Amino acid sequence: MRMHFIWTKCIKYVNLSVKKGKIHHNDFIIDRLTNSIVNTISGDSFPTEVSLFVKSDLKEIANNKNWLFDWSSELSSTDREVYKLTITNNIHVIQGLASLTVKSDHVLIHLIENAPFNRGKEKLYEGVPGNLVAFACRLSFQRGHEGYVSFHSKSKLVDHYIKTLGARHYGNQLMLIETEAATNLVNKYFKS
């Protein structure tokens, strides 16, 4: 019953957003589900932190023009919060970013992006997108939404998100992570 209620509200939100032209179809790749992030060269695992990305953080990414999205625009949107993933004790090197909205019954992921050095065959760290999705699930639990998270996928990645995240597909590229899958992700990334 709860899932039906959430998806009825979510689909209404999607329909309104489509009319306004505001939906971004995510194309982040879950390269590896880890318990932190893993260096692709050494295989070493590094604990991470997720914290709010604020205007002063823009200088950390401004020098690298290879970020794909306009994170300044995401920051200025009043309906969302932007979070950064960093390695513990190294908060000035941003590993990835996520733009989220806490809705009345779930968390909506607008965007997730790996840092440019974490993309492609020569990426430095694996596990960044999975870490950010797990954070969205944890935020959903913290806000009393039972881990429910939604996002929009590019068509070619629907099956990828079903297999890697345990997400469910609800048509029109709408994906939902429900309580059980959210619990698995949170337990993988956030032991405490």
What are 162-182's pLDDT values in tens digits?
Answer: 999 999 998 888 999 999 999
State pTM to two decimals: 0.88
What is the pLDDT, as a whole number, of residue 8?
Answer: 54
Query: pLDDT under 70 in the chain at which residues?
Result: 1-22, 192
What is the pLDDT, as a whole number, of residue 105?
Answer: 92
What is the pLDDT, as a whole number, of residue 3?
Answer: 54
Cα–Cα dist 140/192, whole Å: 16
Read off the CATH number of the domain in which 145 is found: 3.40.630.30
Tally of domains within the chain: 1
Domain span at 20: 2-189
What is the pLDDT, as a whole number, of residue 1?
Answer: 45
What is the pLDDT, as a whole number, of residue 6?
Answer: 53
